[in-house]
Every structure is written in structure tokens, then in C-alpha cells.
Structure 1
Amino acid sequence: MIRRPVRLAALALAPAALLSAQGKPQPLQPAPPAAPVPPLRAELAAGEAASPEALVNALYAFISGPAGQKRDLAKIRALFHATARVEVAGNHPEKGAFLRVIELEPFLAFAVPQWETGFFEQAAAAPVVKRWQGLAQVWTPYAIRRTAGGPVAFTGVNALQCAWDGKRWWITHLAFESAAAVPPPKP
């Protein structure tokens, strides 16, 4: 019973807050900007997130394809936890070693146009997985080709940290480094 009058009094004072000290109406303040719409995430097939190894296989499958093939961003995003980060390590021929830490969306904005020019990333060796309960570290060497059967253009390694949320595995962190493939010596 006591709360009702307090609420009514608060509501009665609300219009007064819209008046200036001189009793003139104040202009309404613009509403705060809407929260950004979260990017679309697809549902994954049961096997695509069933293990850290499955995440790696799905990642290679989702980003690989011929020139002109659109990549399914919703499927790629669905592999990564909402707070995942990407680290790109490298060695620039003129500037030396570097490390670039990127949120997932800016990384995808940079990488997808490159992938869509023809990009096939495959494991170059079996991944090494270190797992303890709901955490896993995956180390997977890879080779990149511009066409499915073409020569290796780049080699490198992916280091993924993965976590189990009780229902599925997620990529929580991806670090990688690539280098131009060295052509084999001529006989």
C-alpha cells in the first residue's frame, strides 16, 4: 500500500523533468544508439563441433573453395565463441617480425575477400591436440593452395584454443603464422 503513492509521485514528477528552470519545455534528447546487431551464426551439424579436431576440419572446409565462391560467414562464425580473438604473426620482408591481434569480425572482413579469390587450406600433418577436461590446444600445420590441385603457395601453422561449454566445442582463440612456400630446388 505504501509503495503505490511513491510510484505515483515519481510518475507525477517525470513531466517536470522535461521543463527547464524557466518552465519552458526542454528538447528531447536523442535515444542512445541501438546496440549493434550481432552477426548471424548458423547452426552447425552435430559432428562439426563435437571435438577440437572436428572444429579444425570444419574451419578448413568452410574457408576453402575456388575463386568466386562465396564463403558461408554464418557457418564460419558459428565455429568461434562470441569473444574469440585472432592473432596473426608474421615476418615482413622489410619491417621484420610482427604480431597483429584482431577481433573476429575485422579479421573476417579482411580475410574473406582474399579467400574468395581462390583459397584451399589443408592440414599438412595430423593435428597435435593437448586436452584437459573442457580445454584443448590444437597445433595444426597447414598448406595453402590457390586452386584445389595447385602448387603450395604458403605454409604455416594454426594454434587454436578450444573450450567445451557442456554442449559443444568452440574456438576461443586462433593464432597463426604463414610464410611463402619455398619452391623445391631444380635438379
Structure 2
Amino acid sequence: MIRFALLGALALGGPSLAAQGPLPKPLPKPAAEPAKPPAPRSSNPIKEVVRADLGPAEVGTPEALTASLYAFISGPKDQKRDIEKIRALFHPQARLMVAARHPEHGAFLRPLELEAFLSFAIPQWEKGFFERSTAVSVQKQDGVAQVWSPYDIRLAADGPAMYTGVNALQCAWDGKRWWITHLAFQSQATAALGADPGK
């Protein structure tokens, strides 16, 4: 009965809300969520460096891709290498592997990120470096190719071959161009370097 009497009084203009006491304080607004920090930059420096735009003559086939690699890294002493064009041959997630032999400890493998390799290799190339393919063999199935390319290295264009070796490139087609996705290589000194080429 009390409940119905209260409802009836309100309906008939009974005591105002003010007469019933002070209004309750409004509930505090929920605190605003803290601003989200900006997304961190990629920890992979390969994704953040500048890459040149290359055309079909340079990356249109696995053979062109391989020839471009030799052309871009080779040149006489003090000739600056175009690092953007060299990078642009490699897929952003490409890896390199050096197969080497220590004189005392024997064979070993050294995996390298592209940027680490370039930071070491470019100063050496700019002292005078000519790497030439002596043969190219390509096995291709749709968008995947394996390139086997023996090479020699000379310090001058008309100088003796100081090293011989082989590049094994794995390449992939993304619908527009070919990329080097993995490069493994091995080289050995020749007699011209004063070393026994059989070791």
C-alpha cells in the first residue's frame, strides 16, 4: 500500500523532488583512456631503407636478376656503388649465407642479413672489384627459380682472377618482377693470390 500511495502522490502533483532533499551528485565521468603510443617502427632495418625502382631489363627474368647483381657490385677503384639498386635486387626478407673454410677449424656457415653484408662488402668493392659470371644455369617452375652461377673475382677489369666461386640464388616472382630471396655463396683463392687453390 505504501508503494501505491507514493506512486499516486507523484501522479497527482505531490511533493516536488526538491522537497525530498538535494539532488544526488552526478556520477563522475569515466576517466579517458590514455592515448596509445605510436606503433613502434619495424626492428628490421631492411624494410626501412630506400630501394631503387628497377625495370624489366634488370629484374624481369632470373637471368636478368643475376646479371644485374654482378653489374651493380662490380667496378673500378673509388667508383661508388649504387646501394639502392643493389638492395632493390633482394626481397625485403632475403637472407644470405656464406659457406667458408677456416684454415684450422674447417668448413663453417655464416648467415647474414643484407644490411650487415652490404656494410662490410661495399667498402671492399670500392677498392676495385669485378665479379664476373662464368656460366649461368637456371631451373625454373612457375614463380620459383634456382640459379647456379660460377664466378671469378678480379681486382681490376683486366687483372688476373684472384678468387673463383659459385653463387646459388633462390629467386621468386611476385607477379610483377623477380626477387632474390636467398643467396648462398662460396669462394676460394687462386694461385694468382699466392695461395694453393686446392685448399
TM-score by length of 1: 0.80
CA separation in 2, counterparts of 1:160 and 1:136? 8
CA separation in 1, counterparts of 2:170 and 2:40? 34
In structure 2, the partner of 1:8 is: none
SS in 2 for 1:74: helix
CA separation in 1, counterparts of 2:173 and 2:38? 39
CA separation in 1, counterparts of 2:67 and 2:178? 13
In structure 2, the partner of 1:175 is: 184
CA spacing shift, 1:31–1:133, aligned 2, 3 Å:
closer
In structure 2, the partner of 1:109 is: 119
Gaps of 5+ in 2: 1-28, 195-199
Whether 1:14 and 2:32 are equivalent positions in the alignment is: yes
1:98-123 superposed Cα distances (whole Å, 9 cap, x missing partner): 10001111111111111111100001
SS in 1 for 2:88: helix
Structure whose CA Rg is larger: 2
Instruction: Name which of structure 1's ranges 149-158 and 37-46 shifts more when overlaid on structure 2.
Output: 37-46
SS in 2 for 1:108: helix
How many residues in Structure 1 have an aligned counterpart in Structure 2? 163
In structure 2, the partner of 1:124 is: 134
In structure 2, the partner of 1:146 is: 155
Q: How does 1:36-115 map to 2 (within 5 A)?
A: 38-115=48-125
Deviation of 1:30 after TM superposition, in Å, equals 8.4
Identity between Structure 1 and Structure 2 (%): 59
SS in 1 for 2:162: strand
SS in 2 for 1:179: strand
1:81-114 superposed Cα distances (whole Å, 9 cap, x missing partner): 0000000001121221110001111111111111
Gaps of 5+ in 1: 1-10, 19-28
Deviation of 1:124 after TM superposition, in Å, equals 1.5
Q: How does 1:148-163 map to 2 (within 5 A)?
A: 148-163=157-172
SS in 2 for 1:111: helix
Deviation of 1:182 after TM superposition, in Å, equals 2.7
Deviation of 1:31 after TM superposition, in Å, equals 6.8
Deviation of 1:34 after TM superposition, in Å, equals 4.2
Q: CA RMSD in A?
A: 2.4
Instruction: Name which of structure 1's ranges 93-102 and 152-161 shifts more when overlaid on structure 2.
Output: 93-102
CA separation in 2, counterparts of 1:165 and 1:129? 18
CA separation in 2, counterparts of 1:138 and 1:75? 20
Structure 1 consecutive aligned stretches of length 4 or more whose deviation exceeds 3 Å:
29-37
Instruction: Name which of structure 1's ranges 93-102 and 114-123 shifts more when overlaid on structure 2.
Output: 93-102
TM-score by length of 2: 0.75
